[in-house]
Chains A and B, each alone.
Chain A
């Protein structure tokens, strides 16, 4: 039983981690907060389901295609809406409000395109459970965990080893110095938003088979991902992952051993506690004025 719990916790933890990673990346790159990541996950899940169920593409193709579309969507939002708003001299609060409206629009678009009922993925695997070391484990959980881990590792290598990733980190650290070095800062900002949406959408596609696909699935996950990012140190990529996994464990084990109806309440209470006691998070990022 405990093995299933651990796998479940790791799985949902890596979902929160990837969503939080996206939030942190947006913050590091443009100094802004986007509250729409959860809905990116939702749109990704719907898109993936459409490709797999209705257009009968193979699963991996659906996944990659969804991620590509989500990347473009994220970039579009940044280039068109956020930059225009900033040009008018809007404060950060108004940009946050803008992302809230984007979140509402995405939810409504999903509702009009796919209806407000929960939709199911057709099963991905031929067996319901697989036997690993004598324990029954749902393969979709393993797939989600695997995709999540793969994305995190890929992000690590992209940001540290590749040229564009390094230039993104440089632009995040100091815009002016980076552009003086010839780095296209607006491209890195757009890419940051794009990557954040891409990761959220991608993990949405693998989470869809587990939870079902419905309009409101993104909201809670988005907020928990945000919470994970804060606990780990907002803006710090590794912190977001650690924080996400932390909340995954908190939630899963509280659900299993204590109470399942208050699990969200407790998660938020933990978040508020962390914000009071240790707002800089585990990896010590700057949050106060």
Chain B
């Protein structure tokens, strides 16, 4: 055990540092709220990652699932009086249902048209919740959403909500990791790389695409539901296409196709949003420049930069051990260390 700690000492140091920061932030309500938003966005962006990062299906309308989960859970808990824990699951399932429906046409379309389809879907959900007054109160939004309660204990304070969200986030990340390293995950990656070759290998591309949409919709819907019960007030404004763009930005910034990428992306962008409160009108502009910077300079996100630096360090270390005999071998070693 001591050997593992010595070997991964930087990771341990980083983890302890993170825990210290979190513990410090939890002393204050505002900072705890930021931590909660980071957790919720991590879950939502993880959902997007499953669809876009691993299966290669573009989704510029992901806020639709966020909205469906949020409104679904809210309406069920307020109108039918069901306990929030149950309605969160049901809300996520509603989002999943629509995810599957949209997956049918989506699985047939090329990237360009998929973007349009997802944008159109996002717009439709937004318009529906803003126009259907009788159901959703339209632009006035819905207030008084109940907090989550479990076994008689109600999560009233922001801090307690954060512990719950932290547990859920860790659970989601673990589940994602298991899915990725299973047959399903490999099928997703195969579809992303070359759908025709994947189909030739016997992978039922349609089936896995629909599954990817379903999983993605469930996760993002669940994030939306947790959001609703945390802030106890939702309105259509939070679910516009700007939210979809934000999710995409977080994903690209952190690094697509990784487990920690969505988390890093959420952290950076939630913190940036809070810091930018004073220049809220510049917000969109700054996000736009973020996106352009990622596209032009680091398409693999922060994780990509980290990997790149790590590879540089490893190849530099190996170069000193080079002899003519093992020169070609060292190239192989640094590749396998990915």
Contacts and interface: CB of A to CB of B under 8 A. Distances in A.
B55 to A, nearest CB: 13
Category for how many chain A residues contact B: 35 or more
Contact of B105 (A35, A275, A289): A275
A289 B106 CA distance: 12
B148 interface: no
Most chain A CB within 10 A, of B115, B128, B245, B281, is at B115
B109 A271 contact: no
Given A104-B245, A226-B116, A288 B124 contact: no
B21 to A, nearest CB: 31
B94 interface: no
Interface stretch (A83-91, A139-147, A199-207): A83-91
Nearest to A116: B281
B103 to A, nearest CB: 12
Nearest to B283: A108
B291 interface: yes
Nearest to A98: B295
Nearest to B292: A101
Interface in B273-315: 281-282, 284-285, 287-289, 291-292, 295-296, 299
B131 A272 contact: no
Category for how many chain B residues contact A: 35 or more
Interface in A223-273: 223, 226-227, 230, 234, 261-262, 264-265, 268-269, 271-272
Contact of A275 (B113, B195, B282): B113
A100 interface: yes
A99 to B, nearest CB: 10
Most chain A CB within 10 A, of B104, B127, B195, B299, is at B127
B109 A261 contact: no
Contacts of B124: 265, 268-269, 272
A85 B112 contact: no
Contacts of B109: 275, 279, 287-289
A52 interface: no
B296 A88 contact: yes
Interface string B54-75: 0000101000000000000000
B128 A265 contact: yes
Interface in A181-228: 223, 226-227
Given A108-B285, A108-B288, A279 B113 contact: yes
A93 B105 contact: no
B114 to A, nearest CB: 9
B291 to A, nearest CB: 4
Contacts of B291: 97-98, 100-101
Contact of A261 (B111, B117, B131): B131
A105 interface: yes
Contact of B296 (A84, A104, A275, A287): A84
B264 to A, nearest CB: 19
Contacts of B288: 101-102, 104-105, 108
Contacts of A154: none
A272 B299 CA distance: 31
A275 B118 CA distance: 11
Contacts of B248: 97
A130 interface: no
Given A33-B112, A88-B299, A268-B123, 11 more contacts: A32-B112, A93-B111, A94-B295, A94-B299, A108-B282, A116-B281, A264-B127, A265-B131, A268-B120, A272-B121, A289-B195
For the complex of A and B, 10 pairs with smallest distance between CB atoms: A104-B288, A101-B288, A108-B285, A276-B105, A101-B291, A33-B112, A265-B127, A268-B120, A105-B288, A261-B131
19 contacts: A35-B119, A81-B292, A93-B111, A93-B115, A96-B60, A100-B291, A101-B288, A102-B288, A105-B289, A108-B281, A111-B281, A227-B120, A261-B131, A268-B124, A271-B116, A272-B120, A275-B105, A279-B109, A289-B195
Interface of B: 58, 60, 104-105, 108-113, 115-117, 119-121, 123-124, 127-128, 131, 195, 245, 248, 252, 281-282, 284-285, 287-289, 291-292, 295-296, 299
